Amino acid sequence: MTVISQLFDQLRRENRRAFIPFMTAGDPDSATTQRAVARLVKAGASLVEIGFPYSDPIADGPVIQASYTRALALRPIMTSLLEMCSAMQHNPDTASAPRVGMLSYSLIHRREPARFVADAAKSGLSGLIVPDLPVEESAALRSLCAAAGLDLILLVTPTTPRDRALRILDACSGFVYCVSIAGITGERTELPASLIDQLGWLRCQTKLPLCVGFGVSRPDQAAMLRPHVDGIIVGSALVRQLDRVALEGTEVALDAIENLARSLVSALNT
């Protein structure tokens, strides 16, 4: 059983839902990323998604794009990003929440898949999310991940045909990343009414945990989703707080991140 599977088993026994925050690796620098993750774990994060910055956005909205741009300004290399993940694995303030890497397949391909998966496992990552890898072409990476004890988490969107969604569910491990909207990442005032029906159908098709991302940003949304999901994924609403570093300082930004995280965890598990 993988680390992520063990986590969700424990959450189910405790009747709790997973709060999964997203942070960009290296925005605005490595030290701040690690401090932000520590604050998120302190606030109750179950699992942390680490975004590997990439110059060509896949489904990222303006907030995540800006975060990637800030991180890329420091010209990071893959080795330094993996070293950052390794540091979090060995830091007691961050190690208790497993981490998964979110990245483009082109970054994996450039490093060479077998080498990347081995390095990712060594750095303490427990899974990978590769949004631009079609399920039809995922078998090789799935095999490498399985051999290394990593989960390969795949995405199902509102526009995914149901026959293809079934193939994705068969290939997925760890949890299913349920995209709430047909569009890019970013905060939304409302989630689609059809989302609950989509989650109900997915629940009938798989025993894997269902976690909703894209657009989830507020405590009332977390509370609304609680009966239907195993977890929520929140990115833009948290990452946006890092805009404050330049004007108000790092501590103000980190306090805002922790406070928002606490409000989401409370709504999700009340």
Query: Which CATH superfamily, name and number, covers 18-264?
Result: Aldolase class I (3.20.20.70)
Q: Give catalytic status of residue 187 as yes or no.
A: no
pTM of the predicted model as reported, rounded to 2 decimal places: 0.94
Reported confidence tier of residue 186, pLDDT bands at 50, 70, 90? very low
Instruction: Give the active site residue among 27, 29, 49, 119.
Output: 49
CB contact set of 69 (below 8 Å; sequence gap of 6+)? none
Query: Which is more confidently placed, 30 or 182?
Result: 30
Reported confidence tier of residue 243, pLDDT bands at 50, 70, 90? confident
In this predicted structure, the answer to whether residue 96 has a pLDDT above a threshold of 80 is yes
* Look-up of token digits 């404050």: 244
> Count of CB atoms within 10 A of residue 77's CB?
8
Q: Where are the beta strands (DSSP E) in 78-158?
A: 99-102, 125-129, 151-153, 155-156
Question: What pLDDT shows up at residue 183?
Answer: 53
| pLDDT-wise least confident of 56-60, 77-81, 89-93, 238-242 | 56-60
Indicate the domain borders of the chain.
18-264
Reported confidence tier of residue 59, pLDDT bands at 50, 70, 90? low
Instruction: Give the active site residue among 27, 60, 230, 258.
Output: 60
Question: What pLDDT shows up at residue 252?
Answer: 96
In this predicted structure, the answer to whether residue 182 has a pLDDT above a threshold of 70 is no
Q: How far apart are CA 257 and CA 237, in angstroms?
A: 9
- Residues 109-133 have pLDDT tens digits of 999 999 999 999 999 999 999 999 9
In this predicted structure, the answer to whether residue 92 has a pLDDT above a threshold of 60 is yes
Which strands, in side-by-side order, build the sheet including 176-179?
Answer: 151-153, 125-129, 99-102, 48-51, 18-24, 231-234, 210-213, 176-179, 155-156
Reported confidence tier of residue 192, pLDDT bands at 50, 70, 90? low
> Count of CB atoms within 10 A of residue 161's CB?
8
* Mean pLDDT across 211-219: 90
For the chain, what is the mean pLDDT?
93
Q: Are the CB atoms for 214 and 201 separated by under 8 Å? A: no
Q: Give catalytic status of residue 248 as yes or no.
A: no
Question: What pLDDT shows up at residue 190?
Answer: 65
